[in-house]
Amino acid sequence: MIKAQQKDIREIAGMVEGCHKVLLAGCGGCVTVCLAGGEKETEIAARALRLIRKRSGKPLETVTYVATRQCEPEFLAPLDELVKDVDAVISLACGVGVQCLAERYQDKWVVPALDTKFAGGSKETGVWEERCGLCGDCILHKTGGICPVVRCSKSILNGPCGGSQHGKCELGQDIDCAWQLIYDRMKALGRLSELTAVQPPKDWSKARDGGPRRLIREDLIADEISE
Amino acid sequence: MKYLSKLHQALAEGHFAVTAEIGPPKHASAQGVIRHAQMLQSCVDAANITDCQTAIVRLSSIAAGAHILGCGVEPIVQMTCRDRNRIAIQADLLGAYSLGMRNLLCLSGDHQKFGNHPSAKNVYDLDSVQLISLMRRMRDESKFFCGEEIKEHEPRFFIGAVANPFADPFEYRVDRLEKKIEAGAQFIQTQCVFDMERFERFMEMVRARGLDQRAHILAGVTPLKSWRAARYLQTGVSGMIVPDTLVERLKNAADPKEGIKVCIEQIRHIKEKVRGVHGVHIMAIAWEEAVPEIAERAGLLPRPGLQRRAESID
Amino acid sequence: MTEHMPPCSGACPVNTDVRGYLAAIARQDYAAASRLISASNPFPSVCAWVCPHPCEDNCRRGQVDSALSIRGLKRFAIEAAGVIDSPCDAPAKKTGKKVAVVGAGPGGLTAAYDLARQGHSVVVYEKNSGLGGHFLTSLPTYRLPREMLKRDTDRILAAGVEARTGVEVGKDITIARLREEYDALIISVGLARSKSLPLPGADHPGVLMALPFLHRANTGESQATGERVLVIGGGDVAMDVARTAVRLGAAQVNTICLELREQMPAHAWEIEEALDEGVILINGYGPVEILTKDGKIVGVKAQKVKSVFDPGGKFNPTFEPGEFLSVPCDTVIQAVGQVPDNSFLNQSGLAVDPRGSVQTDKNTLTTSLPGVFTCGEVVTGPGPAIAAVASGHRAAQLVNSFLNGAPAAGPKETEVIGPLPGKVRELIPKQKRQAMPVLAPGSRKNNFEPFELGFDQKAALCEALRCLSCGLGARVESEKCAACLTCLRVCPYQAPVVGGPAAMPPEGCQACGVCAAFCPAGAISVANLNLSAIEDTLRAVTEETRLVLFTEQAACRELLAAAGPQMIPALKDAAVITLPAAGALRLEWILSAFENGAARVVVAQGQKDSRHHAGSGKYLKGVIARAKNLLEAAGIPGDRLSLRKLDEGWPVS
């Protein structure tokens, strides 16, 4: 799932400095799961902003609402009433949610409260790690189920580079060398020979090319004409 | 037989080759580079020009190469994958060849985190293995990286790569070397050898696979200026192994040039004892003036006075 | 939804809200505790002294270390608060219906009390001169001071019940007559007579019966008890008799019963206390003859028991042929069970069963005559008084609906929470049960003074806080749950089950509140955490509030044990919020406290070895650090918020 992190409250406060009343919109999807933008965090952000503003002599009124998922327009309908009398909307969703709100409320100042970090999973309580670079062209079957695109600092497809030592990346002891992991796993699986093939340059056109990527499922496109 | 470069010829003719390294400056004057080149002129077969080493912005490898060529030193242009995508790499290498560069060393490059622009976006559009393979195809099949034909004047580099016997996983390092050779690497420069025992084990595996027959392996050597420098390399640089005994030897030495002595011993050992090594690459970090002395005292001089017989397109 | 009842309440015949009153004691709201105790039990004072407490036998803390001392706490609460009528005690509108209750034992008085409170006119007929049945006549006074009984019966009378004592139904007035005068009748005469074994020699005048013996002892009537007393029987009554005999000065008191020690029907503690007082048990022998010589009792001959129960578990003793024992004694007291005194049936017209007792439908509590009901031991057979109370409640309910012509409500759907899962047992910190202080055997065996001394406040608070708050745990609003697994990751007991939306099995959940504090979706509520009270407290915070104190219960106890709240000046104007565990603290609350103007916030954690929930506070440091960062963003110095462990001394000077 998408992992995000709340921005420093001072930065968020700065974005709504001139506002008197704001709506804090949480999201019940990924950012709830990663404890960044669900009901609890929305409430914390609201209280912290009010506290900051009260202390600076310019009280702020807050309204909170948590959408089931901000990335779906259907779930935003209940916000329509709430946004009417606020000066700004603070979205506690990922970048997708922020943009969905900005698109829906054309005349409203919509600001992000989170930094959207990556697609990843939980390592332990309070620790998440990136696992997928959303490159659009999965090669995990060639690398033992370990993604060098995001887990190698250089995204090397024919690794490891010369900086790999004792299983760690040259960038630091807290980063596992993805290629050591790949090597170990392929070795354990008896598939080391597959690593001798030279991996060709990646087709990055599937990752970022010509505006936002788009998925189209033909079987879900209604055929209005013949109906 | 036509050779791609003087270095190519020296190696092909069975000379124990000597290369050194020139680090371009952090400014726009070539004076220092030229002085270095003049110093090295009679004692090396070619000199590597690093490409913004440790990700610190410096005068470009290709431009510096043009300067030292004028001093009679054959450059080995270094090209990292960190800063350029496949378009920039090809453009620069066409330019380099047009300027008379004949040797190319392909490498991944140090991560930008270590340099003076840690917030830069790295590129790594290609990795080193891919770069080697595409440059070989450009030369041998006259094709751009995309497959499009180069109608005339394709660049014909003597292609090199690096290998690090001191990084992990150890056994896989030989696999990866083979991958690079398979991809088209003709010469290999290794990471600085301090742990001779490990290097010899590495070479044993290299020989067992006949890789020393398929590419020229140049062992990297470094004269250490002080025991502190040794300790730094031992603990502060990933992918280096510096034995404690060496650190101790430097610490206890009275001679300030003990590092040079060690280096000479290493070269002699490699040259005489380690089969399959075809030369040395002397990386005198911040101690370039030591190279002539090392070459001299290690019995590497004089260098074969090769005429420029390499094929050329000019 | 089925209510998950804690096993203590489940085991209590009147389902007393044990958990509720223990929590009230823990927060020192003794009035509330007393109200909860009295809510379903018109004999709170009596039960506080003598209830055999099935609640304790089922307490889940017993699976960790030892059960809560529930009866001891009940006594503490009752004494600290005095009996308080439950809120529904406002006099009901008179219905004009009249009910007669025969027998003023716990069952009859309960029925009378309930019916009176429902507005019926109730008259209780009792052949004894006072109210309370066995409470009055049979229970030794060293176990039940009679002023406790009077306190309860006074409260029953105050509810409008009229008592006619010294009136024997069947002799002074007949059932038939009562039926004419009243709209309904409840017969609750109990088991008023001691059973007698048909042994050779049993008709000797030196062979006494348990109930008359106890009654005389309680009223201080002199009775000839010899030097060497032998009590026949192995139940609680036999123990009462033996201990009473000790107190009356017998030099030697033996008890003899068929059962082996561990099979004895008496409660283990009763046996222990009797042994402490010098009573000798003779187990596994059945008396066969009372031996007399020169018209005096000289002993009892008993035969060795082979087995007490048959393979089907039925009472059916068999004996070893030819193995006899003779126990010398000069007095024999039979305590082998009680039977009803059926003299009330005289001219009643009520149908009787083959044993001569009134015929009763155990479910509807009806008899062969319309409008005549029964309750108590007459119906249930011998059992604890609290079971008779439960029967009295049921009878009142049925009679009330009979009088109103409306059907009675069926029993509530409840499910008792199952045992603690093994791994949870391991994770719950052990806490020693407070021992009930008692008079030493030497100083109690020659008098009838109450021998249990009761808990002091410190012991009571410690003990009350041992309650595991069974069933007050987390509930998940599954529509809000994102199945993020946070609850499972932060739970000190690994109790949540997260397949789809999280589930919180009441067996494993220990109600510490940590999961709710961390749930990012606000999907978890914890019954043990009074959220609205916490928010009310926070709302009441103003610029005048010098301190907001969040404290876990254990810390609170230590604090109070040390000084009492009024002794700490800094706490005088403080808003104190008590949490089941410090880990239940929410960052939002800290922000609210400061937003409303609090000068300082202190979070107090109890001493490590007395913490109720191990590992529940391991995230506190991080939460406090984050809160400080937010406060500093608002220009509030971080040192105005502090986390203090009581190990390091009391945080507020």
Quick one: pLDDT at residue B197?
96
> pLDDT tier at C556 (50, 70, 90 boundaries)?
low
B32-74: pLDDT as tens digits? 999 999 999 999 999 999 999 999 999 999 999 999 999 999 9
Mean pLDDT of chain C: 90
- A143 shares its domain with A113: no
Residue C290 has pLDDT above 80, yes or no: yes
Is any Cβ of chain A less than 8 angstroms from the Cβ of C636? yes
- A108 shares its domain with A11: yes
Is any Cβ of chain B less than 8 angstroms from the Cβ of A166? yes
Q: Which chain B residue shows the shortest CA-CA distance from A161?
A: B108
Q: Do B167 and A162 touch (CB under 8 A)?
A: yes
B111-135: pLDDT as tens digits? 988 899 988 888 999 999 999 999 9
> pLDDT tier at C617 (50, 70, 90 boundaries)?
confident
Q: What's the whole-number mean pLDDT along residues C399-404? A: 94
Q: Hey, how many other C-beta atoms are within 10 angstroms of the C-beta on C460?
A: 26
Please say whether the beta carbons of A93 and A71 come within 8 A. Answer: yes
Quick one: pLDDT at residue C84?
61
Q: Do A40 and C521 touch (CB under 8 A)?
A: yes
Looking at chain A, which runs of residues are DSSP E strands? 2-6, 21-27, 61-67, 88-91, 109-112, 114-124, 127-132, 168-169, 172-176
Q: What's the whole-number mean pLDDT along residues C247-273? A: 94
| CATH architecture type of domain C3-86+431-464 | Orthogonal Bundle (1.10)
Quick one: pLDDT at residue C651?
47
Quick one: pLDDT at residue C626?
96
Is any Cβ of chain A less than 8 angstroms from the Cβ of C480? yes
B131-146: pLDDT as tens digits? 999 999 999 999 999 9
Quick one: pLDDT at residue A224?
79
Q: Which chain A residue shows the shortest CA-CA distance from C483?
A: A33
C301-331: pLDDT as tens digits? 999 999 999 998 888 999 999 999 999 999 9
Q: What's the whole-number mean pLDDT along residues A140-155? A: 95
Q: State the alpha helices, DSSP H only, in C465-586.
A: 486-490, 514-518, 531-539, 553-562
Please say whether the beta carbons of C227 and C250 come within 8 A. Answer: yes
Please say whether the beta carbons of C518 and C486 come within 8 A. Answer: yes
- Find the CB nearest C521 among A10, A32, A56: A32
Domain spans of chain C, in order of start: 3-86+431-464, 91-191+340-404, 194-337, 472-527, 530-653
**Residue A145 falls within a domain, yes or no?**
yes
Is any Cβ of chain B less than 8 angstroms from the Cβ of A184? yes
- Find the CB nearest A32 among C482, C489, C587: C482
Q: What's the whole-number mean pLDDT along residues A47-76? A: 96
The length of chain C is: 653
Residue A43: list chain C partners with CB under 8 A. Answer: 522, 588
| Type of residue found at B181 | I
Q: Do A125 and C489 touch (CB under 8 A)?
A: yes
Residue C156: closest CA among C190, C105, C192, C218: C105
Quote the percentage of chain C above a pLDDT of 70: 94
Q: A224 CA to chain C: closest CA distance, Å?
A: 35
State how far the Cα of C548 lies from the Cα of B127, in Å rounded to an integer.
60
Residue C26 has pLDDT above 90, yes or no: no
Burial bucket for residue A165 (CB in 10 Å: 0-12, 13-18, 19+): buried
| Type of residue found at C329 | C
Q: A185 CA to chain B: closest CA distance, Å?
A: 12
Query: What 3-state class would DSSP assign to A109?
Result: strand
**Residue A215 falls within a domain, yes or no?**
no
Q: Do C521 and A47 touch (CB under 8 A)?
A: no
C50-82: pLDDT as tens digits? 999 999 999 999 999 999 999 999 999 999 987
Quick one: pLDDT at residue C653?
42
Sorted by sequence, the CB contacts under 8 Å of residue B260 that are 6+ apart come out as B223, B290, B293, B294, B297
Is any Cβ of chain B less than 8 angstroms from the Cβ of A163? yes
Is any Cβ of chain A less than 8 angstroms from the Cβ of C634? yes
Q: How far apart are the first and last CA of chain A?
A: 38
Quick one: pLDDT at residue A181?
97
The residue of A142, A151, A154 whose CB has the most chain B CBs within 10 angstroms, and thus the best one to mutate to test that interface, is A154
Q: Which chain A residue shows the shortest CA-CA distance from B173?
A: A160
Question: Which domain, by its residues, includes B12?
Answer: 6-226+259-297
Q: Work out how many domains chain B is built from and give that number.
A: 1
Is any Cβ of chain A less than 8 angstroms from the Cβ of B113? yes
Residue B89 has pLDDT above 60, yes or no: yes
| CATH architecture type of domain C194-337 | 3-Layer(bba) Sandwich (3.50)
Please say whether the beta carbons of C431 and C466 come within 8 A. Answer: yes
Residue C186 has pLDDT above 60, yes or no: yes
Quick one: pLDDT at residue C568?
56
C-alpha distances in Å from residue C653, one per residue of C162, C578, C650: 58, 19, 7
Residue C156: closest CA among C406, C409, C396: C396
Q: Hey, how many other C-beta atoms are within 10 angstroms of the C-beta on B54?
A: 16
Provide the whole-model pTM: 0.81
CATH 3.90.1150.10 fits C472-527, yes or no: no
Could you give the count of Cα atoms lying within 13 Å of C284 in the half-sphere of its Cβ? 9
Could you give the count of Cα atoms lying within 13 Å of C313 in the half-sphere of its Cβ? 0
C634-648: pLDDT as tens digits? 999 999 999 887 655
Q: What's the whole-number mean pLDDT along residues A135-161? A: 94
Quote the percentage of chain C above a pLDDT of 90: 75
- Find the CB nearest C588 among A43, A54, A55: A43
Cα maximum dimension of chain A: 69
The DSSP string of C352-380 is B-TTSSBP--TTT-B-SSTTEEE-THHHH
> pLDDT tier at C418 (50, 70, 90 boundaries)?
very high
Is any Cβ of chain B less than 8 angstroms from the Cβ of A148? no
**Residue A112 falls within a domain, yes or no?**
yes
Could you give the count of Cα atoms lying within 13 Å of C607 in the half-sphere of its Cβ? 12
Quote the percentage of chain B above a pLDDT of 70: 97
* Residue that is last in its domain, among A60, A85, A117: A117
Is any Cβ of chain A less than 8 angstroms from the Cβ of C485? yes
Please say whether the beta carbons of B177 and B211 come within 8 A. Answer: yes
Please say whether the beta carbons of C258 and C234 come within 8 A. Answer: yes
Cα maximum dimension of chain B: 62
Is the torsion defined by CA of B227, B232, B234, B240 positive or negative? negative
Q: CATH fold of C530-653, please?
A: Rossmann fold (3.40.50)
> pLDDT tier at C546 (50, 70, 90 boundaries)?
confident
CATH of the domain at B291: 3.20.20.220
Residue listed under structure tokens 């305590």: C335
Is any Cβ of chain A less than 8 angstroms from the Cβ of B112? no
Q: Do B167 and A160 touch (CB under 8 A)?
A: yes
**Residue A154 falls within a domain, yes or no?**
yes
C-alpha distances in Å from residue C491, one per residue of A127, C474, C517, C613: 17, 11, 11, 10
DSSP annotation of C588 reads: H
Is any Cβ of chain B less than 8 angstroms from the Cβ of A22? no
Q: C626 CA to chain A: closest CA distance, Å?
A: 11
- Find chains touching chain B: ≥3 CB pairs under 8 Å: A
CATH of the domain at A36: 3.40.50.2300
Q: Which chain C residue shows the shortest CA-CA distance from A1?
A: C484
> pLDDT tier at C649 (50, 70, 90 boundaries)?
low
- A96 shares its domain with A172: no
> pLDDT tier at C574 (50, 70, 90 boundaries)?
confident
Quick one: pLDDT at residue A121?
95
Quick one: pLDDT at residue C87?
46
Quick one: pLDDT at residue A210?
67
> pLDDT tier at C567 (50, 70, 90 boundaries)?
very low
- A8 shares its domain with A112: yes
Question: Which domain, by its residues, includes A149?
Answer: 135-206
Residue B109: list chain A partners with CB under 8 A. Answer: 154
- Find the CB nearest B111 among A154, A167, A196: A154
Q: C593 CA to chain A: closest CA distance, Å?
A: 10
Mean pLDDT of chain A: 94
Per CATH, C3-86+431-464 and C91-191+340-404 having the same topology is answered no
> pLDDT tier at C189 (50, 70, 90 boundaries)?
very high
Q: What's the whole-number mean pLDDT along residues C486-498? A: 94
- Bond preceding residue A78 cis, omega within 30 of 0: no
- Find the CB nearest B179 among A154, A158, A204: A158
Q: Do B239 and A165 touch (CB under 8 A)?
A: yes
Please say whether the beta carbons of B227 and B250 come within 8 A. Answer: yes
Token pair for C178: 């009562």
Q: Hey, how many other C-beta atoms are within 10 angstroms of the C-beta on A74?
A: 9
Q: What's the whole-number mean pLDDT along residues A32-37? A: 96
Residue C559 has pLDDT above 50, yes or no: yes
Count helices and strands in chain A by DSSP H and E runs = 7, 9
C76-91: pLDDT as tens digits? 999 998 766 554 455 6
Quick one: pLDDT at residue C348?
83
Q: Do A158 and B191 touch (CB under 8 A)?
A: no
- A191 shares its domain with A152: yes
Q: B33 CA to chain A: closest CA distance, Å?
A: 27
Facing residues of A172 across strands?
A: A169
**Residue B152 falls within a domain, yes or no?**
yes
φ, ψ of residue A68 to 5 degrees: the values are -55, -50
Residue C392 has pLDDT above 60, yes or no: yes
Q: Do C633 and A9 touch (CB under 8 A)?
A: yes
C331-376: pLDDT as tens digits? 999 999 999 998 888 878 899 888 888 999 988 999 999 999 999 9
Is any Cβ of chain B less than 8 angstroms from the Cβ of A175? no
Is any Cβ of chain B less than 8 angstroms from the Cβ of A40? no
Quick one: pLDDT at residue C558?
60
The residue of B176, B180, B182, B234 whose CB has the most chain A CBs within 10 angstroms, and thus the best one to mutate to test that interface, is B176
| Type of residue found at C511 | A
Token pair for B285: 């970090």
State how far the Cα of A115 lies from the Cα of A109, in Å rounded to an integer.
18
Sorted by sequence, the CB contacts under 8 Å of residue C26 that are 6+ apart come out as C461, C464, C465, C467, C553, C557
- A18 shares its domain with A67: yes
- Find the CB nearest A171 among B111, B179, B240: B111
- Please state which of the ranges B275-284, C431-440, C555-564, C596-605 shows the lowest mean pLDDT: C555-564
Is any Cβ of chain A less than 8 angstroms from the Cβ of B108? yes
Residue A50: list chain C partners with CB under 8 A. Answer: 595
Quick one: pLDDT at residue B6?
95
Report how far Cα B231 is from the mean position of its chain's Cα atoms: 23
- Find the CB nearest A44 among C489, C588, C635: C588
- A71 shares its domain with A29: yes
Facing residues of B47 across strands?
A: B20, B75
Report how far Cα C429 is from the mean position of its chain's Cα atoms: 24
Q: Which chain A residue shows the shortest CA-CA distance from B234?
A: A165
State how far the Cα of C278 lies from the Cα of C252, in Å rounded to an integer.
8
Q: A117 CA to chain B: closest CA distance, Å?
A: 16
Predicted ipTM?
0.91
Residue B190: closest CA among B264, B240, B129, B225: B240
Quote the percentage of chain B above a pLDDT of 90: 90
Residue B113: list chain A partners with CB under 8 A. Answer: 153, 171
Token pair for C332: 């024999």
Q: Work out how many domains chain A is built from and give that number.
A: 2
What strands, in cross-sheet order, belong to the sheet with C296-309? C285-293, C296-309, C315-328
Residue A18 has pLDDT above 90, yes or no: yes
Residue B280: closest CA among B2, B43, B109, B78: B43
Q: Do A160 and B182 touch (CB under 8 A)?
A: no
State how far the Cα of B159 lies from the Cα of C195, in Å rounded to an integer.
113
